[in-house]
Structure 1
Amino acid sequence: MIRIMLVDDHVVVRTGLRLLLEGQANLEVVGDAADGDEAIRLAQQLKPDVVLMDLSMPHGKDGLTATAELKKLLPDTCVLILTMHDDDEYLFRSIHAGASGYVLKSAPHEELLTAIESVAQGNAYLYPTATKRLMNEYMERLKNGGDGSDSYETLSEREREILSWIAKGYSNKDIAENLIISVKTVETHKAHLMEKLGLRTRPDLVKYAVKKGLLNFDG
């Protein structure tokens, strides 16, 4: 029996998931929460095998922060992200936060059930189109001479600092305010980062930072 906890700010979503999952002989929903703070408190009491975690919750901690904290408190509990965001940046940040899988809310019920069983067995699960896209990107990088990993040493200390801030989701304006520099200076450093690393978009920078272990969710 796989013990599951649901985390989503929409009551209708939690109710629908409960009905679906409790109709399976090997699944048991042991609790549900409406935000990240409640999820952390409840998970410590219930110690579920799998937590189905939404990402966007307007009140309390968001799904990424809650996932990172849950994995520190309950390393044996698997977190499966269930979200509407078909986005590489969210995907990579979820994996870095400690999630074992990532499934879209638009996925067929069968895919969600497969994902739950997969992560409960200690495996990772990504929805099929994400896996294909990541593999295509990886092959493209190899074709173009690698992923820029050897270029990290060429970055200045300030460029590395700004790369870390970008990867954590901060806007150029936020970075400028935190580092007490101008937005234009941040944009210039960002342009240099992309040129040195051979990257083209902000999500590319996030993926690179994840690979380099530059993200953390402390605090």
Structure 2
Amino acid sequence: MSRKVLDKRVLLTHFQKPLALRDCPSRDLGVGLSLLNSIRIPLKFWDVTWRCFHGKLCVRDNLKCRSSEERGCPREECGGLLESMDHFLLQCPFNTEVYNRVGASIHWPGLAGLSYAEWAYGAFRGLGGRDRCTLFLVSLVVRYHTWNARCLVSTQRKILPVDEVVRNILGDLVKVRSLEYERLGTGRASLLWRGFSFSVP
């Protein structure tokens, strides 16, 4: 069974709504698809990126079958607010704190103010001299780690401190950037990563 067939079965069986690109204007769709299929995305991050692109992260509001009727965010600080894609990407206080700290560490203060379309499709309003694919790459590494931290809360009741999640994100960003410098050479990679300055704290 191909990955495409398997994904369609999972989506039809487990999710409440059909596969759709929410609020994705046609002008952003082509760019978003090219970002999603970029060879720059490490395989480790691809699944979470693909699911977010299609609005199909396993947040509680998305799922047909749940072990309980609980639909609130699993984090205590959210006080049972409905866990939707919007909540996870834009409103969860834990995630917004991570965004603020990572944004400050890499000199991208706009990270904390990204819209749904920017997080999901890479439809960035302002590049600030940065490469669009690199912005998307940074955002997907952040999303991967905030999603995994959320899943630990939901499945194991394990709460990672914000500092640890930020360290994990910065560590992966350093690895991704280093691999690109090795693969592409300093000249090309430095153009792709211009505007970012960071190291593991």
Scaled by the length of structure 2, the TM-score of the pair is 0.29
Scaled by the length of structure 1, the TM-score of the pair is 0.27
Larger Rg: 1
| Bigger relative CO (Cα 8 Å, ≥ 6 apart) | 2
